């Protein structure tokens, strides 16, 4: 007797050619989103508001209807979709620059309004698609193409702790930060995505997951070194954890 | 607040008339941010949409408002936003996306003084902003310019119809004067057929392949093919939808051209001129895009002069010059901002230019 232990979710396009760099965690994150969509039976009812950056190509991989938003406006467009079709499952998948720099107003206000939406934000501490510039999550001391001597507070100010900020919004039902640096953490990440999707399905409010990710190309690292950096440099600054979950207690 | 009545004549402010017409046109979602002189549209919508179980969102900015409108339109819903001059400027990126995404966005633009913050007086200074595209790339917005409060209603209906018929963002270009004035208006039922959007709307990929509404065209060839297709659509719009009004042009030596609320004053000015023995006719583009180039070119074969009368520093005059292609001189009578020039003043200037 054979038992199936592995299958490609139907929510992933079978003919998709992945365009992410080797060692980039986008591939893992997309896979997790696809698995959760399928396991929760949401694929056929889902509409994605895509973002700008490396995350834009998500619609090339997922078997869901998608609208490509201008840079930073994914949660505004998602709001429009959800308000027009409250019966649909509406989600975004954005980079940290899209979500927390150019789109910070749209992101915060979607959370403040308690829009029944789910948002995934990939935090890789840089603008990946444009070649590794300083972004809103670039950590102190980090060298990028626009912080050649490293981020310092005098010149660049400080990075944003996204999951903590979103947790502060009253309309947020769930906010968590996860990492993809180990198998154990990938499993936790999947649970967090599931939770962020569930709070929308249950109509409880805004669901959010920040995913710490690698960008080996722009970090000038091997995939292995990049995952070490997530563990050693990013996780101490951006601490993984659940920052808000209204289904657990009345925070 | 007024009721969404049809078939009865009521005295109503332009902004409320536009909002009420949008509700009667079946607008399901309104997204907006306050700005004078159009805030009454959002105020009306906030109550009425809730009452009807439709959607109203007080957006955090005009950027958000227009992008929310895009989101709603992507599901095939009738959705709109409204704003004014400097805030319409904030929406230009999204309008370029909406044109490229081919989405039926309806935007009401109630012009005020500019550039910059300008002031809250009426103006026609956003003719270029509306018809020439403030966003990036090659695209067109259908633009309808009402000249009376009644026409604010009729053209709001038409804006929803054309936006959905051509899957193209459509602007109702009014001005502060029309927005703030009260006039007797009749709300007839929405007169246009509903457009089937089942072939393209995002509704979830149940029982079909997933759909992507996108403007990203990574390959040069892809973008070329898309733009050719888009401009074939624009050609159809130009052939089918160009609309204008003309009075007394049959025997005219001089034709005055105005759009929007200024048209009322050139009509009176032309009468004054006729009393003084000048053969003056009037012409009004109702659609600013598509612009009635062809008709103005025909008129230029038999009139001696065309005068554009505008409340700005001279914007539509450029399109008139393109239309007549040098056949006759084209002059400008204008006021930089505020209510349109008085008919007597216009007539006096016409006499000087005749």
DSSP string, B17-71: HHHHHHHHTT--EEEE---TTSHHHHHHHHHHHHHTT-EEEE-SSHHHHHHHHHH
Q: What is the pLDDT of residue A26?
A: 95
Q: Is the minimum CB–CB distance between A73 and chain B shorter than 8 Å?
A: yes
Average pLDDT over residues A47-67: 93
CATH T-level fold of B245-353: Rossmann fold (3.40.50)
Across chain B, mean pLDDT equals 96
Average pLDDT over residues B245-273: 98
**Three-class DSSP category at B171:** strand
Q: What is the pLDDT of residue B3?
A: 59
* Ramachandran region, residue B118 (left: φ > 0; alpha: ψ -120 to 50; beta: rest): left
DSSP for A103-131 reads THHHHHHHHHTT-S-EEEEEE-SSBTTTT
Query: In chain B, which residue's Cα lies nearest the Cα of A58?
Result: B212
Give the rounded percent of residues in chain A with a pLDDT score beyond 70: 99
Beta-carbon separation of A62 and B210 below 8 A: yes
Give the rounded percent of residues in chain B with a pLDDT score beyond 70: 98
Q: What is the pLDDT of residue A108?
A: 98
Does the pLDDT at position A250 exceed 70?
no
Does the pLDDT at position B1 exceed 80?
no
Q: Which of B55, B63, B73 lies nearest to residue A73, judging by beta carbons?
A: B63
Q: pLDDT per residue over B168-210, tens digit each?
A: 999 999 999 999 999 999 999 999 999 999 999 999 999 999 9
Q: What is the pLDDT of residue B303?
A: 98
Average pLDDT over residues B89-113: 98
Q: Domain spans of chain B?
A: 9-197+228-240, 245-353
Q: Which of B57, B59, B213 lies nearest to residue A67, judging by beta carbons?
A: B213
How far is the C-alpha of B37 from the C-alpha of B54, rounded, in Å? 24
Query: In chain B, which residue's Cα lies nearest the Cα of A45?
Result: B204
Across chain A, mean pLDDT equals 96
How far is the C-alpha of A130 from the C-alpha of A147, rounded, in Å? 14
Best CA proximity match to A184, nearest among A137, A240, A237: A240
Beta-carbon separation of A65 and B202 below 8 A: yes
DSSP for A42-103 reads -GGGEEEEE-SSGGGGHHHHBSSEEEEPPTT-HHHHHHHHHHH-TTSEEEEEEEHHIIIIIT
Backbone CA torsion sign across A75, A80, A81, A84: positive
The number of angstroms, rounded, from the C-alpha of A163 to the middle of its chain's C-alpha atoms is 10
Average pLDDT over residues A98-115: 98
Q: How many residues does chain A have?
A: 251
Does the pLDDT at position B2 exceed 60?
no
Task: State the smallest CA–CA distance between residue A104 and chain B in angstroms.
Answer: 11
Q: pLDDT per residue over A71-86, tens digit each?
A: 999 999 999 999 999 9
Beta-carbon separation of B77 and A85 below 8 A: yes
Radius of gyration of chain A (CA): 17
Beta-carbon separation of A47 and B77 below 8 A: no
Q: What is the pLDDT of residue A63?
A: 95
Beta-carbon separation of B216 and A77 below 8 A: no
Q: Is the minimum CB–CB distance between A85 and chain B shorter than 8 Å?
A: yes
Best CA proximity match to A175, nearest among A134, A144, A149, A206: A206
Q: What is the pLDDT of residue A3?
A: 87
Does the pLDDT at position A193 exceed 70?
yes
Q: What is the pLDDT of residue B133?
A: 83
Q: What is the pLDDT of residue A16?
A: 82
Average pLDDT over residues A130-145: 97
Cβ atoms of B288 and B131 within 8 Å: the answer is: yes
Helices B149-166 and B14-24: angle between axes, nearest 10 degrees: 40
CATH T-level fold of A26-245: Rossmann fold (3.40.50)
Please tell me the pTM assigned to this model. Answer: 0.96
Cβ atoms of A67 and A47 within 8 Å: the answer is: yes
pLDDT band at A151; cut points 50, 70, 90: very high
Does the pLDDT at position B4 exceed 70?
no
Instruction: Say if B9-197+228-240 and B245-353 have the same CATH topology.
Output: yes
Q: Which of B65, B79, B202 lies nearest to residue A47, judging by beta carbons?
A: B202
Task: State the smallest CA–CA distance between residue B134 and chain A in angstroms.
Answer: 15
Q: What is the pLDDT of residue A249?
A: 66
DSSP for A173-218 reads EEEEEEE-SSHHHHHHHHHHHHHHHHHHHTT--EEEEEEE---HHH
Q: What is the pLDDT of residue B321?
A: 98
Does the pLDDT at position A57 exceed 90?
no
Per-residue HEC secondary structure of B253-265 comes to CEEEECCCCHHHH
Contacts of B55 in chain A (CB under 8 A): 83-84
Average pLDDT over residues A189-212: 98
Contacts of B75 in chain A (CB under 8 A): 47, 81, 84-85, 88
Does the pLDDT at position B220 exceed 90?
no
pLDDT band at B249; cut points 50, 70, 90: very high
Cβ-based neighbour number of residue B308 at 10 Å: 25
Mutation target to probe the B interface, by most B beta carbons within 10 A, among A37, A67, A103, A110 is A67
Q: pLDDT per residue over B11-43, tens digit each?
A: 999 999 999 999 999 999 999 999 999 999 999
Q: Which CATH superfamily is domain B9-197+228-240 in?
A: Thiamin diphosphate (ThDP)-binding fold, Pyr/PP domains (3.40.50.970)
Beta-carbon separation of A81 and B61 below 8 A: no
CA B141 to each of CA A21, A164, B152: distance values in angstroms, whole numbers, following the listed order: 39, 41, 18
**Three-class DSSP category at B247:** strand
Average pLDDT over residues A88-108: 98
Q: Is the minimum CB–CB distance between A196 and chain B shorter than 8 Å?
A: no
Q: How many residues does chain B have?
A: 354
Task: State the smallest CA–CA distance between residue B130 and chain A in angstroms.
Answer: 20
Give the rounded percent of residues in chain B with a pLDDT score beyond 90: 95
Q: Which residues pair with A171 in a beta bridge?
A: none
Q: What is the pLDDT of residue A15?
A: 85
Contacts of A89 in chain B (CB under 8 A): 204
Angle at B134 between CA B129 and CA B137, to 5 degrees: 140
């Amino acid at each position: 007797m054979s038992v199936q232990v592995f299958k490609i979710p139907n929510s992933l396009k079978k003919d998709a050619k992945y365009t992410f760099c080797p060692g980039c965690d986008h591939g893992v994150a997309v896979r997790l989103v696809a698995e959760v969509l399928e396991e929760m039976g949401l694929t056929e009812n889902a509409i994605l508001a895509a973002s700008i950056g490396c995350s834009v190509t998500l619609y090339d991989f997922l078997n869901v209807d998608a609208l490509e938003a201008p840079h930073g406006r994914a949660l505004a467009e998602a709001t429009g979709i959800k308000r027009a079709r409250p019966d649909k499952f509406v989600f975004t998948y954005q980079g940290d620059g899209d979500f927390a720099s150019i789109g910070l107003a749209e992101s915060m206000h979607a959370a403040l309004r308690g829009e029944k939406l789910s948002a995934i934000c990939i935090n890789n501490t840089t603008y990946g698609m444009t070649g590794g510039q300083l972004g809103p999550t670039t950590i102190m001391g980090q060298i990028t193409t626009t912080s050649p001597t490293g981020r310092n507070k005098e010149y660049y100010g400080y990075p944003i702790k996204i999951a903590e900020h979103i947790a502060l919004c009253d309309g947020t039902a769930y906010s968590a930060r996860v990492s993809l640096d180990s198998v154990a953490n990938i499993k936790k990440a999947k649970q967090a995505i599931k939770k962020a999707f569930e709070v929308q399905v249950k109509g409880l409010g805004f669901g959010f997951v920040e995913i710490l990710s690698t960008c080996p190309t722009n970090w000038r690292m091997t995939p292995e070194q990049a995952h070490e950096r997530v563990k050693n440099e990013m996780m101490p600054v951006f601490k993984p954890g659940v920052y808000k979950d209204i289904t657990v207690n009345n925070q | 607040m007024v009721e969404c009545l049809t078939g009865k004549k009521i005295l109503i402010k332009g902004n409320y008339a536009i909002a009420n017409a949008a509700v009667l046109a079946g607008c399901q979602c309104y997204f907006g941010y306050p700005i004078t002189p159009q805030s009454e549209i959002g105020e009306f919508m906030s109550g009425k949409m809730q009452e009807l179980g439709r959607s109203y969102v007080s957006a955090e900015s005009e950027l958000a408002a227009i992008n929310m409108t895009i989101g709603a339109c992507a599901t095939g819903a009738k959705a709109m936003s409204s704003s004014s001059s400097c805030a319409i400027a904030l929406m230009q990126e999204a309008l370029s996306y909406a044109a490229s995404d081919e989405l039926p966005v309806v935007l009401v633009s109630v012009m005020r003084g500019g550039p910059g913050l300008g002031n809250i007086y009426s103006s026609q200074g956003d003719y270029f902003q509306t018809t020439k595209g403030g966003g990036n790339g090659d695209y067109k917005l259908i633009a309808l310019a009402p000249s009376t409060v009644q026409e604010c209603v009729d053209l709001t209906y038409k804006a929803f119809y054309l936006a959905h018929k051509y899957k193209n963002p459509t602007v109702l270009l009014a001005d502060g004067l029309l927005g703030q004035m009260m006039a007797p208006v009749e709300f007839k039922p929405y007169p246009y057929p509903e457009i089937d959007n089942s072939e393209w709307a995002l509704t979830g990929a149940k029982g079909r392949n997933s759909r992507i509404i996108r403007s990203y065209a990574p390959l040069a060839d892809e973008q070329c093919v898309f733009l050719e297709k888009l401009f074939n659509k624009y050609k159809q719009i130009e052939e089918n939808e160009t609309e204008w009004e003309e009075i007394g042009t049959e025997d005219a030596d001089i034709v005055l051209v105005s759009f929007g609320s200024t048209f009322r004053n050139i009509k009176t000015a032309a009468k004054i001129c006729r009393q003084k023995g000048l053969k003056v006719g009037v012409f009004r583009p109702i659609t600013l895009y598509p612009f009635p180039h062809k008709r103005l070119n025909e008129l230029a074969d038999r009139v001696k002069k065309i005068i554009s009368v505008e409340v700005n520093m001279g914007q539509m005059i450029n399109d008139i010059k393109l239309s007549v292609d040098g056949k006759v001189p084209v002059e400008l009578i204008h006021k930089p901002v505020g209510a349109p020039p008085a008919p007597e003043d216009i007539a006096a200037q016409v006499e000087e230019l005749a």
